[in-house]
Every structure is written in C-alpha cells, then in structure tokens.
Amino acid sequence: MKTWLITGCSAGLGKSLAKAVLKKGDRAVVTARKVETLSEFAEEFPETALVLALDVTDEKAVTDTVKKAKEKFGSIDVLVNNAGYGYRAAVEEGSVADTQKLFDTNFWGPVALIKAVLPDMREKRSGVILNVSSIAALQTAPGSGYYAASKCALEGLSGGLRAEVEPLGIKVIVVEPGAFRTDFAGRSLTQSEKVIKDYEQTAGARRIGKDTSHGTQPGDPDKAAELMIMAAETKDAPFRLLLGTDAVTFAGHVMQGRIEEYAKWEKFSCQSDF
C-alpha cells in the first residue's frame, strides 16, 4: 500500500487521480486550496484519505502538509504536483503581478513540495515524483506564452532533478496532457486585463469568451488517472508521459518540425566552432 500526496484535487485530473488511487486501495493525502471541496473523499475513504487545505504558494502550508501526512501515514511514496491554472495574454499584455502569481503556483509551488518530500525519499532510496506539465511546453500557442513558460520551467527543473535522484532510487515523470474535459478551460483559466488591439487576431483570438473548447475536449480524466498510476508503478515508465491522442499527434508534429528546422541550418550551425 503506497501513500500519495496529490495537489489540486477539487476537480479535473487531480480529483480523478485521487479517486482512482483510493479505490485501488492506496492511501492519499488529498489537497486543494478550499478544503470544503474535498468532503466526499473524507466521507467515502475515512481511513485511507487525509483531506487537507493546501495553497501551494504558501511555503509553511506545504511544510505543514508534509508533516501531517507523515504523522498520519508514516511516509510519502508518490508526490503528484497537479495544482495549477492557465493564463491567457499576449507577452506584451501580461502584468508582473499576474505572471508572478502564475509562476508561484505552477512552478515554485511544485519546487517547494519536491524539496519537502525529498529528504525522506532519499533516506528510504525510493519514491516517485509526477510533475503535471502540458503540451504547451512543447510548442506555444499565441496568448499562452507565460503559461507555457511556467511549464517549460517545470520540465527543465524535472530533467535536472531526474538526473540527480535516479541514482538514489527516485523516479521523476513529467506528465504532458493534451486537452482534457476538466475545468482547465473553464473556471481555471484566467487572462490579462490589458488588451492591445494589434494582437486581436493572435493572442486575442484565444481570450476567454472566444475559447469554445470547454466541455468538448477529447481527453477523459478518469482514463488519464489510470495511466498515471500505471506509469508511477512501472519500472520502465517514460520520463515524458503524453496523455491523449491529440497530445501524441501534436508531439509528433512538433518533433518532426524541429528535426527539419535543425537539418536546414545544420551546416551553418556547425560553422560556429573554433
């Protein structure tokens, strides 16, 4: 029986994952900023679910959550950094306050949780860390520059972390979902207040109100949850786990485009040596 710590469980992928983990008989520390959104977990799984309020941008709350998890279950075997949200703005439109808050949630929050669980994982020479990223980190759409940057930062950190902790028996997985039928394009999506008319046809075309994808996304969060569990429990899981047919197709196009772009300029690139 493993113990999972999962952030962002009030809805979407986090909620589906927490339910799947508990239904299979594992224990889970189920967290969200508003603890009242998690009451069903406490009622249905009173012995194996520890329901806690957690704002991942609050470093003390992160430390307290890990402490309470250890007091209740002894250790944390799997950390899932799922909490996060989207932000739409042209690069020129994005405010410092908005983007700092975005990075505090999507990047620095996961960093704090990783640092909080690693000492015990290092001591027992085992553990799994799943960092939920996005296919936006592969190639960025207009209006998603800041959001994609937060996920690129998380993926870059995860790559370095993987190289550091794999020899210690700790596995790191980056999860790259496509479009899933969650609240991500609904209540979890924010945008800049500033609007510049010159970006109307690019970033502006993807502003809230013009995005009609909410509720029609192809991805099933329950099926994604099962795949994440399988990856966490499989020895040969990929470092980058794509979720959804759209993610697989998109990644293929992006990678092929990069190969072709590099090849086109290869002879020039090689001219920069001494």
pLDDT digits (tens, 9 = 90+) for 32-73: 999 999 999 999 999 999 999 999 999 999 999 999 999 999
From the list 147, 150, 171, 192, the catalytic residue is: 147
Tell me whether residue 272 is in a domain.
Answer: no
Tell me whether residue 61 is in a domain.
Answer: yes
Tell me whether residue 269 is in a domain.
Answer: no
What number is the average pLDDT over the span 66-85? Answer: 97
Per the structure, the complete domain to which residue 229 belongs is given by 3-249
From the list 151, 171, 192, 199, the catalytic residue is: 151
Q: How many CB atoms lie within 10 A of CB 25?
A: 9
Give the Å distances, CA to CA, from 245 to 193, 205, 252.
34, 24, 11
Any long-range contacts for 214-217 (C-beta under 8 Å, 24+ apart)? 214/183, 214/185, 214/186, 215/181, 215/186, 216/181, 217/178, 217/179, 217/180, 217/181, 217/182, 217/185
Q: Name the average pLDDT for the chain.
A: 94
Burial class for 259, CB neighbours closer than 10 Å (0-12, 13-18, 19+): exposed
Beta-strand relationship, 86-88 and 189-191: parallel
Q: What is the CATH number of the domain that holds 98?
A: 3.40.50.720
Name which of 12, 56, 31 is nearest 177 in CA terms: 12
Clarify whether 146 is annotated catalytic: no
pLDDT digits (tens, 9 = 90+) for 205-259: 999 877 666 566 768 899 999 999 999 999 899 999 999 999 999 999 999 999 9
Q: Across the strands, what pairs with 241? A: 175
Q: Are 81 and 109 in contact (CB under 8 A)?
A: yes
Clarify whether 151 is annotated catalytic: yes
186 pLDDT above the threshold of 60: no
Tell me whether residue 63 is in a domain.
Answer: yes
From the list 10, 133, 134, 192, the catalytic residue is: 133
Tell me whether residue 258 is in a domain.
Answer: no
Sign of the four-CA dihedral 211, 215, 220, 221 = positive
pLDDT at 73: 97
| Residue-wise DSSP of 115-179 | HHHHHHHHHHT-EEEEEE--GGGTSPPTTBHHHHHHHHHHHHHHHHHHHHHGGGTEEEEEEEE--
- Look at residue 27 and give its three-state secondary structure: strand
Tell me whether residue 214 is in a domain.
Answer: yes
Name which of 75, 76, 79 is nearest 8 in CA terms: 79
Name which of 56, 50, 14 is nearest 33 in CA terms: 56
Q: How many domains does the chain have?
A: 1
pTM score of the predicted model: 0.93
Tell me whether residue 259 is in a domain.
Answer: no
Tell me whether residue 43 is in a domain.
Answer: yes
H or E element in which residue 20 lies: helix 12-23
